[in-house]
Amino acid sequence: MSRLRPAAVAAVTATLALGLTACGSDTTSADASGASDDDGATITYGIYEPGADSGYLLMGQEKNFFAKHGVKVNIVQLKSAQQAFPALLAKQVDVIQGNPSEALLAVQKGAKLKFVGSTMPGQNYALYAKSDVASLSAMAGTTLGVSTPTGLPAVVAKAMMLQSSVDPSSVKLVNSGGSSDRYKAVVAGQIQVASAPLDYTAQAAKDGVKLLGRAKDVVPDFPRYALITRDDVLQAKGQGVTGLITGLVEGIRYANDHPDEAQALAAKTLKVAATDPMVAETYKEFRDGGYLALNGEIPVKQIKYLADLQVKIGITKSAIPVDPMVDDTYRQKAVAKIGQVASHYYGDAQ
């Protein structure tokens, strides 16, 4: 798994003028001149830094399912949306696993993007706080650790605040780095609240940190991930995109049926002991909590919720049309290869 050079991303960001900036990182890179071999059978796939969910999200690679379905997949690790969307738009990657919110904003600025599937549409974010913040409804006047003002950590936190009758403008947003950095900032008392994944719930009590609320419970229509690509990729590499989706979905199903292997992969990725409570608790949450797209389903209803939410919190003036961005063709072909199974996504019940 490679990472994208920060200098390349910064140059791309400046060129695109999308209001996104690159996060610094001491990483190596895929070739900035092009995402992948132009043979339709190689896909460069961008993902955010793997967390405790890696037992699911990286299983397709671990079991070599991509090759099984006739596609070579180069996985590129990206720090956040600040890197992912500039890289996608600059053709440094072909497909990204990201939150639909930033994709909507990119399309508003003229990008030609499509939602083609999903891996984990269930939102695994939560708000963590020290004891001086009594509840979600008491967040006014606090400092909140996020990444960018329009990135997932900020937008999901604002949605949770609105649902809890808190004016988001009453909370000061602080750029506090990646997920682990934001959580650690709460522990250190540098910020009062952090928007971060559920990975840290097992550790929170030991650190004197409490869970103010889970996005799944407070804003169940807020999605996490979709598979996002460009129109030109679909035209040139449609078969490869189908192979990618097929391998990802088969990997998620395999992880769901093989907990020991999935937890071992997560532990290996995070470089922690397989007995670490975070690994087992997060796996159980994903498996039993309905976060997974076992058929790669595109969470269209939830993406439309995001488009409306962007208007409510002042990011856009009008809702960005979602239907023209949805192309379910490649997912349907993928599922035709491996068969349909019962959906466990909690959003389907909303």
pLDDT tens digits, 94-116:
999 999 999 999 999 999 999 99
Range 71-77 average pLDDT: 96
Q: Is 163 exposed, middle or buried (0-12, 13-18, 19+ CB in 10 A)?
A: middle
Digit-coded pLDDT (tens) for 217-256 = 999 999 999 999 999 999 999 999 999 999 999 999 999 9
Same domain, 340 and 251: yes
More confidently predicted of 13 and 277: 277
What is the Cα–Cα distance from 168 to 156, expressed in whole angstroms? 11
Last residue of a domain, one of 173, 190, 218: 218
Q: Which of 187, 203, 218 is the last residue of a domain?
A: 218
Same domain, 108 and 139: no
User: Do both 206 and 236 map to the same domain?
Assistant: no
- One domain, residues 245 and 330: yes
- Report whether 239 contacts 140 (CB < 8 A): no
Q: Do both 345 and 197 map to the same domain?
A: no
Task: Indicate whether 230 and 334 sit together in one domain.
Answer: yes
Q: What is the pairing mode between strands 210-214 and 125-129? A: antiparallel
Q: pTM for this structure?
A: 0.85
pLDDT of 33 strictly over 80: no
| Domain match, 164 and 177 both | yes
Give the residue with greater pLDDT, 71 vs 40. Answer: 71
231 lies in the same domain as 114: yes
Q: Which CATH number goes with the domain that contains 311? A: 3.40.190.10
pLDDT reading at 36 higher than 90: no
Domain co-membership, 339 together with 312: yes
- The pair phi, psi for residue 100, each rounded to 5°, is -65, -20
Cα–Cα distance between 182 and 66 in angstroms, integer? Answer: 34
CA–CA separation, 243 and 41 (whole Å): 8
Which of 218, 241, 264 is where one domain is finished?
Answer: 218
Supply 302's token pair. Answer: 């939830």
Which structural domain, as residue segments, surrounds residue 140? 125-218
Residue-level pLDDT at 350: 61
Q: Is 228 in the same domain as 96?
A: yes
pLDDT of 169 reads 95
- Do the Cβ atoms of 249 and 295 come closer than 8 Å? yes
Mean pLDDT value of segment 182-201: 95
Does one domain contain both 237 and 118?
yes
Residues in the chain: 350
Band (50; pLDDT cuts 50, 70, 90): confident
Which residue type occupies 338? I
- Residue 338 and residue 40: Cα distance in Å, rounded? 21
